[in-house]
Amino acid sequence: MIKPDAVASGHTGRILAMIHESGFKVAGLKQRRISLEEAQAFYAVHKARPFYTSLVRFMSEGPTVVLVLEREDAIARWRVLMGATNPANAEEGTIRKRFAESIERNAVHGSDAPETAAQEIPFFFSQAELL
């Protein structure tokens, strides 16, 4: 997912270019605004954490680009391309190093495991929408 901060800052195209240059196939893509209720449901796993309220507010503040990416070892490779959650700790050349504003406004989201992806993908995409 390309988060509202990166979309609002005009970084969507550059992030998509990095995705393509890294060998990912885009199997699903759409731009949409996530409602507060959807953000609460999507990030429910973090409900007890202190950043939950600000996270769901942030994720519903503007348009996002939701994606389904494919390639061998896609989750691990996407996490490397994203970079560390805190952009101050992210490696040069990663999305978060280049485009994130802070640990909370960190430009992109990615599933952390196949089980998470299996829950997150149908949250935004029907099977018919995937290539």
Name the residues annotated as catalytic.
109
77: CB partners within 8 A, 6+ apart: 22, 23, 24, 71
CA angle, 110 as apex, 104 and 53 as ends, to 5°?
A: 35
Strand partners, 32: 64
Strand partners, 29: 67
Strand partners, 64: 32
Residue carrying structure tokens 């507060």: 36
Extended strands (E) in 43-121: 63-70
